[in-house]
Amino acid sequence: MNPTRRRHPNFMAFIGTGVVIGFIVGSAVAYFVPGNTTQFGRVYSDTTSVMFMGIVGAFLFGLLAAVLAVLLDRRR
Q: Is the pLDDT of residue 2 over 90?
A: no
Residue 7's Cα: distance from chain center in Å?
A: 24
pLDDT tens-digit series, residues 29-63: 988 887 665 666 777 788 888 899 999 999 999 99
Spatial distance between the Cα atoms of 48 and 24, rounded to a whole number of angstroms: 15
- Mean of pLDDT over the chain: 85
User: What is the pLDDT averaged over residues 2-27?
Assistant: 87
Q: Is the pLDDT of residue 21 over 90?
A: yes
Are the CB atoms for 27 and 50 separated by under 8 Å?
yes
pLDDT number for residue 38: 61
Spatial distance between the Cα atoms of 32 and 2, rounded to a whole number of angstroms: 54
